[in-house]
Amino acid sequence: MSYSSDLYQQVILDHNRKPRNFFAMEDSTHHCEGYNPLCGDKITVYLKVGNGGVIEDISFNGSGCAISKSSASMMTAFLKGKTIDTAKSVFESFHAMVTDDPGFDQAKSNLGKLAIFEGVREYPSRIKCATLSWHTLISAIDDKKEAQTE
Amino acid sequence: MSYSSDLYQQVILDHNRKPRNFFAMEDSTHHCEGYNPLCGDKITVYLKVGNGGVIEDISFNGSGCAISKSSASMMTAFLKGKTIDTAKSVFESFHAMVTDDPGFDQAKSNLGKLAIFEGVREYPSRIKCATLSWHTLISAIDDKKEAQTE
Amino acid sequence: MKVDATIREIDIETVRKDFPVLSVKMGDNSIAYLDSGATAQKPLAVIERMKEFDSHQYATVHRGSYRLGEEATQIFESGRETIASFIGAKQGREIVYTSGATMSINLVAYGYGRKFIRRGDEIVISDMEHHANIVPWLKLCEETGAVLKVIPVTETGEFDESAFVKLLSARTKLVSITHVSNVLGTVNRVKELSALAHSAGAKVLVDGAQAAPHMKIDVSEIDSDFYVFSGHKMYGPTGVGVLYGKYDLLETMDPLLTGGDMIERVTFAGATYAPPPQRFEAGTPPITQVVGLCAAIDYLSAIGMETIEERERELLEYGSDLLRKIPQVRIIGTAPGKAAILSFVVDSVHPHDMVTILDGEGVAVRGGHHCAQPLMDRYNIPAATRASLAFYNTTEELDRLSAAIRKAVALFG
Amino acid sequence: MKVDATIREIDIETVRKDFPVLSVKMGDNSIAYLDSGATAQKPLAVIERMKEFDSHQYATVHRGSYRLGEEATQIFESGRETIASFIGAKQGREIVYTSGATMSINLVAYGYGRKFIRRGDEIVISDMEHHANIVPWLKLCEETGAVLKVIPVTETGEFDESAFVKLLSARTKLVSITHVSNVLGTVNRVKELSALAHSAGAKVLVDGAQAAPHMKIDVSEIDSDFYVFSGHKMYGPTGVGVLYGKYDLLETMDPLLTGGDMIERVTFAGATYAPPPQRFEAGTPPITQVVGLCAAIDYLSAIGMETIEERERELLEYGSDLLRKIPQVRIIGTAPGKAAILSFVVDSVHPHDMVTILDGEGVAVRGGHHCAQPLMDRYNIPAATRASLAFYNTTEELDRLSAAIRKAVALFG
Ligand SMILES: Cc1ncc(COP(=O)(O)O)c(C=O)c1O
Ligand SMILES: Cc1ncc(COP(=O)(O)O)c(C=O)c1O
């Protein structure tokens, strides 16, 4: 098996080819544009947040590599119907996973299918691709105008 | 014999200790201040030039290392009574000698006692010391305000 | 001249042994290093020379008048002659040591630009410049009120020369253009452009960062006022670069950095500056790196720049042929006579993914905007993948490049 | 704690073998290298580490996302943590890589000074500054109309602290002072001075070029806003230096150099800059030199800065005693607790001659103004001779220094 095949698993390739929730939402309550200056990836995340902080709808559009696109796609699929608080805590787990935070425990995490991005930690320059949509999400929630990878 | 003893010969040490023509000339026709920024040497050369370009009197003062002081002292002793044209041509020989110019031929040169500075060529950083008074002389003749080692 | 030709031909196996990084393993393969445009690998001659200098000859320069220091100074200063003769400059004192091409351009933007360029004056650059030759001019324009003009680039990646001529006027104070594009590989007609600029009364800076490592440079023939390049891209060390400038022009310029070694006298009332090149070399210079750069120049000269150019031309042809056979690949930059840089895009595979897939096959290329965002905008692409070649590359490495691209195309389908 | 002490004591024979230049012959003797204040010799650990990096790990940083490039980036970036912990900085991102201390100071003069200092504002430096910490401020004052104030130095070579306090006012915007004087050896009370400056509302830069190689630095304790030093003076390579800055301050500052790698977006309408430290690192950085500097830090840390400090204190005492026994010698700089720098004058022997005579005996010292012309003026001397010591020096070398000075004195009678 070659070095890169544990990164480009079928699920990721599939979300890249057919991204879910890939549209500009007209009636969003929050949205934000995220940008990764290193590779030029640009993604806008849209949210419609209802009563009790429930994410009633979530979508994204823009351009980017397979990792950032599939990560955004899977993020939207995962978070639809969840609350903002859940989203924030999932972000933290996700971030801990891909940055190989020693405190991170896969088994105990709430990441579900998103755990497929674990392999990204072996590719330091790709971590920002995987987290771009997440950073943008958080900035959208916080009503910031623009998000950037750290 | 140590490395430096062919540089600091008795004649040089003597001129350093008792520099000849070491005074500020009140009635000079030309004078110029020379400065070596590397070591802070500062020397003023004074000339009284008479009919036919004869150097009737020549002196210097200022502060500097033994090489620049003795070189200035021997220069003044050597040039008194000679013409400006001679001074210029002696300068050229002197310069050729200390910079180890391939065209320089000791035997054919007009340097006389000044040949004692030949050893300076082995000490690249001291060449400017030996030539400071000469550069200053030339600038004085050319009525420049200030001279500097190249 | 058969004998000569044989002597000068590159014995690639021997040459590759000169570059230890080329034997580094990536998985099962040796690395196929196709990123020399970003930075070149260093031959042992350079690595060992720096080690030797640091081990037996190291001292500071200009200040130490003991023998060790005088010898170090002599080695360091004679480097100016080595570099001058390598690029066809007339005098060693026209060679200013800097920390890299970026610093060299900044030095001109500051020392010449700030001093002589005024509101309403125009600076001409081009669509294919590296950020190093864009941002300093943007900043200068912002500060002075000068205006930036941009030479458009044609679809094949060449300067639109008639557009260039129209941009020139009495307001043009400086034309700053690249010799070789780091993305397109285009070799610009800098000699002709320089003549045009001069006849409009403008000064000319040529960014030779991508040219100096790959072809014979003759600044006297080009007749540009400034020429800049970096050590690390021409098989020398990081931390050193060169600004060539015509001496009478350098004499009029202000220093960018101030401090020790570039002054004549200092009092608290003011300082007077030393003549060039010292004026522009404040502080302890990159001594060992200058020595390394000169070793790189000696190494390149021993092979011969014409030989290098020819080998790279052959590699480029071979690689271009391979890439043209992959239908999904679109090559960016197809100017005739271009240098050995192969940038390309594949619609279904983002460059960032391309790089990772290729890396999986041990093929090292670069993906991204290549510090040329305006050029990406020009071609309407967010990024590109770039294989940039050097004489030490092989056709076998290009075969691996092509196979890896095919694999990526298949994977992303 | 006897065991520890034994381990940490310097085994001088072993240590000297680490530094190949120390075995270079000058005539019949090994060189007695007493010019470490100008530049320090490099241990094999540094020389070999750079060779290893250039041979097996070299690639450019930040841009290459293939493995070789990622690993190089990781090594390069982790250097910030190594340096931060060496000087007591809290975060790696407060470490900006520069080409040397001179460039670091220029960066602050430009990026902070030009931006925040206005006509009538005051900048405080001192009588004992190196030109690197004078000329950039002279230039800034010239350009902005700010006023330069100078802390006087007492006869022993210490700051006149009460005069300093009087200089401070609401107009004081920046205090820029040296930690250790390169001529006098004085170790300034930078922590206390920094607190005084802060209470007047001024920012503080400490020039640590002569301190970082010789003592434990703790920038968090000193609490200066900036701290600068050079790689080559601390047993690392030329071509690299450091600017430490408090992060929130760095964030407000403008870049000195612009170009690739320090931007976020570039269009011909303008560019936006990356956050620190990248904002200040335009172009390809001194990659291999950062690696070398970190190897030097590891080497120093293995010996222990306290051990180094102690050994140098002993050498200084030994050398001072010898020099005090030569009646014609006047030592310049006699502050208590000074660092191992011995500057002196002999009325009958000009420093330039002294250096040549000493060189004849294989003793390498420096003569001249030491890039501190105002300090020479302060002591009313045109120049001085300086022996600057490092932990690798020996008492035997100091004996040779003393004998050679006596010889010069006798010769010039
Ligand atoms: C106190 C001091 N500051 C600054 C510098 C300048 O350092 P560099 O020449 O490495 O930039 C020096 C070195 O000469 C120094 O001694
Ligand atoms: C065309 C061109 N100009 C300038 C530069 C900047 O060179 P450096 O990063 O060595 O300063 C580069 C390198 O990236 C380049 O390709």
Enumerate the β-bridge partners of residue A83.
Answer: A54
**Does D38 map to a domain?**
no
Residues C298, C359 within the same domain = no
What Rg do the C-alpha atoms of chain D give, in angstroms? Answer: 22
Contact A126 D263 (CB under 8 A): no
What Rg do the C-alpha atoms of chain A give, in angstroms? Answer: 14
Give residue C319's pLDDT. Answer: 98
Report the CATH number at residue D241. 3.40.640.10
Enumerate the β-bridge partners of residue A46.
Answer: A31, A59
Which of the following is catalytic: D26, D44, D249, D371? D371
Give residue A2's pLDDT. Answer: 58
Alpha helices in C331-381 (DSSP H): 351-360, 373-379
Give residue C4's pLDDT. Answer: 38
Alpha-carbon distance values, C104 to D102, D240, D283 (Å): 17, 17, 10
Assign 3-state DSSP to chain A and report helix, strand, coil percentages, each to 5. Answer: 50, 20, 30
Find all residues with CB under 8 Å of C131, minimum gap 6, and list them.
Answer: C371, C372, C373, D259, D260, D261, D263, D266, D271
User: Measured in angstroms, how far is the CA atom of residue D218 from the centroid of ligand 1?
Assistant: 19
**Does C118 map to a domain?**
yes
Considering C302, C327, C358, which residue would you say is the last residue of a domain? Answer: C302
Mean per-residue pLDDT pooled into runs of 10, chain C (413 residues): 46 95 92 98 98 97 86 96 98 98 98 97 97 97 97 97 97 98 98 98 98 98 98 98 98 96 88 95 98 98 96 97 98 98 96 94 94 92 95 97 97 89
Q: Which of B36, B122, B125 to mutate to test the interface with C (most CBs of C within 10 A)?
A: B125
Considering D278, D302, D326, which residue would you say is the last residue of a domain? Answer: D302
**Does C39 map to a domain?**
no
Neighbours of A106 (CB within 10 A): 11
Residues of chain D whose pLDDT is less than 50? 1-7
DSSP state of C238: T
Contact C54 D237 (CB under 8 A): yes
Residues C122, C269 within the same domain = yes
Q: Which two tokens stand for residue C5?
A: 């030709």
Ligand 1, residue C259: give the atom nearest the CA. 6
Residues of chain A whose pLDDT is less than 70? 1-3, 148-150
Pocket of ligand 2 (CB under 6 A): C 100-102, 130, 132-133, 178, 182, 207, 209-210, 230, 232, 371; D 260, 283-284
Residues D406, D298 within the same domain = no
Residues D309, D297 within the same domain = no
Nearest CA in chain D to C138: D270
Residues D62, D10 within the same domain = no
Which of the following is catalytic: C44, C59, C371, C376? C371
> The dihedral of CA C42, C43, C46, C47: what is its sign?
positive
**Contact criterion met (CB below 8 Å) for C116 and C327:** no
Chain C residues inside the 8 Å CB shell of B35: 264-265
Give residue B1's pLDDT. Answer: 42
pLDDT tens digit string along B22-42? Answer: 999 999 999 999 988 777 788
Q: Which two tokens stand for residue D253?
A: 């500052």
pLDDT tens digit string along B34-83? Answer: 988 777 788 999 999 999 999 999 999 999 999 999 999 999 999 999 99
* Backbone region of residue C270 per phi and psi (left: phi > 0; alpha: psi in -120 to 50; beta: other values): left
Residues C387 and C35: their CA atoms lie apart, in Å, by: 6
For ligand 1, whether the C-beta of D106 sits within 6 Å is no
Give residue D2's pLDDT. Answer: 38
- The answer to whether A and B touch (≥3 CB pairs < 8 Å) is no
Report the CATH number at residue D402. 3.90.1150.10
**Contact criterion met (CB below 8 Å) for D104 and C234:** no
Residues D142, D80 within the same domain = yes
Give residue A1's pLDDT. Answer: 42
Determine what percent of chain B is predicted with pLDDT higher than 70.
Answer: 96
Residues 69-108 of C with CB under 8 A from D: 69, 99-103, 105-106
Considering D287, D302, D317, which residue would you say is the last residue of a domain? Answer: D302
Give residue D78's pLDDT. Answer: 98
For ligand 1, whether the C-beta of D99 sits within 6 Å is no
Residues D80, D218 within the same domain = yes
What ipTM describes this predicted complex?
0.94
**Contact criterion met (CB below 8 Å) for A35 and A146:** yes
Residues A88 and A135: their CA atoms lie apart, in Å, by: 10
Residues B59 and B25: their CA atoms lie apart, in Å, by: 7
Nearest CA in chain B to D355: B4
- The reply to whether C41 touches chain D by the CB within 8 Å rule is yes
Residues D71, D107 within the same domain = yes
**Structure-derived torsion over alpha carbons of residues C235, C236, C238, C240, reported in degrees to the nearest 10:** -130
Residues D70 and A55: their CA atoms lie apart, in Å, by: 37
- The reply to whether B40 touches chain C by the CB within 8 Å rule is no
Residues C187, C228 within the same domain = yes
Name the domain count of chain C. Answer: 2
Chain B residues inside the 8 Å CB shell of D373: 40
Find all residues with CB under 8 Å of D285, minimum gap 6, and list them.
Answer: C238, D61, D76, D97, D261
Give residue D91's pLDDT. Answer: 97
For every residue of D286-334, DSSP letters joined together read: -HHHHHHHHHHHHHHHHH-HHHHHHHHHHHHHHHHHHHHTSTTEEEE--
Q: Which two tokens stand for residue B9?
A: 């010969």
B21 CA: distance to closest CA in chain C (Å): 28
What Rg do the C-alpha atoms of chain C give, in angstroms? Answer: 22
Domain ranges of chain A: 3-141
Residues D28 and D20: their CA atoms lie apart, in Å, by: 17
Residues D152, D276 within the same domain = yes
Residues D288, D315 within the same domain = no
Residues C344 and D297: their CA atoms lie apart, in Å, by: 43
Q: Coil, strand or helix: which one is C35?
A: strand
Residues D305 and D347: their CA atoms lie apart, in Å, by: 37
Question: Domain range holding C163?
Answer: 48-302
Enumerate the β-bridge partners of residue D207.
Answer: D178, D228
Contact D70 A124 (CB under 8 A): yes
Select the CATH number that applies to the domain covering B3-141 from these four: 3.30.70.380, 3.90.1010.10, 3.40.190.290, 1.20.1250.20: 3.90.1010.10
Residues C261 and D368: their CA atoms lie apart, in Å, by: 12
Give residue C25's pLDDT. Answer: 94
Task: Enter the pTM of the model.
Answer: 0.95
Residues D136, D266 within the same domain = yes
D371 in catalytic set: yes
